[in-house]
Structure 1
């Protein structure tokens, strides 16, 4: 077995491979941006032989906007050179539009570095140019398809919501009439399924909107929780629900956004919907120690609970771990909490007795000044 060492590596051969066999274009220009050296891959990328590029001004190779961008980048680099010195500035990649010999335009990404004399003064620029036309085309197609998908999602969510609301209103009117109990049971089932359809449509819409919101702000979670509780009562008007907030502090703020309400609503709604007791009782405990960087929210129900296997897969997005309890709502919950940099876990309400109810524990980063 031959061992590679510094002595048996031919530096000139490596340089030859790098500059003549790799598709990226290696180039050198002087401080006036005149080409001094161009590697053979220029023929593949731009359609020009190296000597043709060396004989032409750089302006002939670049589109109008890219010409201005190159000159601006050079001026900024020289200004920063004077301010922070040669070791304090690293030039970011430039994306430029090049006009090929066949007049077609391509996008290239350019990385570059100053060549310096013995005194450290810039005397030229060496760099690499890579054709990124396919990548830019893929990015453009992705953006266009994303916009189109969001448009269709918005229309679908809006129309489905209107249809569901119309069905709900009709069912609620019919349920006010006298009828046989078996017919009433069927209508109640249809009413419940339609409400689930409304929630599913809303959750899909919220998931799409989640990607569009960028900044987190300081929010009072107590107010968000109270709003979510009102929404639960409104969404399940025929159920007797009692939700108690236990919060001794009341002054803590968290870093969140408008989706905090929907996160709380989904957890509370799931707890109430799955509870078969005549009276639904849910406790919400909000706490935080003086040294804790998180505000903790415990949503404690007395429903059917979750066995250990269901707990493990509750927030999984894998298709292999579907279950009727999770649904899209908890996918939305997990994505919102991840966005906040928070945590979520599920435990037994009474340790070791999973069928006596569940305890969802959510932690969200606190605003430090609110301690």
Structure 2
């Protein structure tokens, strides 16, 4: 009996302990239910989509956001065998299958994976999902857990941006203007393919060449000055126009060894705070325009020269007449004095000096009369090579005495043309005489004369170059003016080039001068090829 009482008491204690454990389990279950409800509520209300699948791909749970995004009801999605596979194209479904298979094999979550799903209305949406493997308490895989974010709007913006960039790139790469960008240290960061049309260089070649090698020294100085001004404006403390631009004309070196001109519009590239981070430039080739401006200015200079010579010619006619009348009387009186006997030798020498100066005055007056009169033309067919050859033959010995080397380069097929041969000979002689004078005292004396036939323009070019002292820039526009000379007093009348200018103009041609690479001057003459008396 006593033994039964002990067993009964033990059962009561075990029953009490069991009831306590049950109460604890019930309380823990209630907490789990509350926790599950809490987390379910959070999952249902987040903006991201959340779903759970079994290993076959069937969805076993989805939050409210996913049906709203796809247009299906929760029930429709839950009844689909494999929604992620069914709502994608075949190629995209294969990619998704491979991604899920990799997660299953490795157990490693996939943090970012983009998929495109077909909605119920046939439209598509883009989603970024992260996937992890679900396991039971024993660690066995039982499905997948996915969190998705709708990136449809972002992808649309990216596609629009890509399309816009594609269009702008197509425009940039097919336009003739050059576009390039540089950092603030003037290192190229981009050049458009059109660069090869303007400079002859490919963009890759330009990237390897320093800026100072691509631009002529004068233009490089201009760019440095303008950049300095812009930096002063930018960081000088005053108000800054963030949209300002500078338009400059620069001369650049071409790959073929020549130069070309560009009109360049430059502005700063700025960051989100408006601070300059680089420079963007758009350059347009204006070489033809610059040449046209130069030709126009040359034509204006020639017109002004012609007007000046015409006015001086009209004035010189009367001046020459008035000068020669008293000079003739003085000359007659001096000749009479020379016939007188018992004249001291010194006095006779002085009279000779006076006569030589009178002869000079007469020569100047004759030159003035030539400028004001219309001389009779003796036009004949001749080859300019023959004219120059005859002149050089006559002056060969004098050039040798002066120790002047000659370099003659004749075009072999020059056509005969109508000219006043004597007058053209006078022009060539004047240029040779000026070249001899310019090379006095020079160690290296070379007279270069060449001819060329510019078939496209049907004109002949004559070039006379020396290795003298060149022409000062302030004298360049005056050299064809009557009486302008840089020679010492008594060594020139200043009419040679003026008369030559008139002769060439009468032949319908042009004459101009420039300094050459040998340090001297080069005179260029262009004649239209004429075979009959045509108007100039």
Q: TM-score range by the shorter chain?
A: 0.3 to 0.5
Q: TM-score, normalised by structure 2?
A: 0.32
TM-score by length of 1: 0.44
Bigger relative contact order, structure 1 or 2 (CA pairs below 8 A, ≥6 apart): 1
Q: Which has more radius of gyration?
A: 2
